[in-house]
Homo-oligomer: A and B are copies of this chain.
């Protein structure tokens, strides 16, 4: 829960891997692999955690327990915007955030809900109709870390 105070090349490199996929969430091992051993895996864990603490990214756990990280759009540090759902394409196997307000279901008497997370699986736009695309890539605008001093 510690706020990060310095902007480094290392963090920028990790951020870049996320910016390459503006819609898609990425997992830790994926990022480490893309960085090709240039950054230690423990460091990547810490940087991703730091991004989450700073409100830059949010952490997603899919329905199988695998975790992903995705850039936040409408989140601020301390309060993540949960007004979206997560989606995994069963064809290209990518996880993404979708802006789709979800209504809290009616619970039986006695239960009081505070939060909800939904995970939907199916075909993403790039994979409809199925088999058209195996792993779509799209280029994202290059963004730099801006100063976030204490």
Interchain CB contact under 8 A, A103 and B105: yes
Chain B residues with Cβ below 8 Å from A117 are: 63, 118-119
Interchain CB contact under 8 A, B98 and A111: yes
Interchain CB contact under 8 A, A106 and B100: yes
A115 within 8 A of B: yes
Interface size on A, residues (CB 8 A): 39
Chain B residues with Cβ below 8 Å from A128 are: 110-112
A113 within 8 A of B: yes
- Chain A residues near B (Cβ < 8 Å): 61-67, 85, 87, 90, 98-125, 128
A-B pairs, top 5 by smallest CB distance, nearest first, are: A110-B125, A65-B65, A113-B122, A114-B122, A112-B123
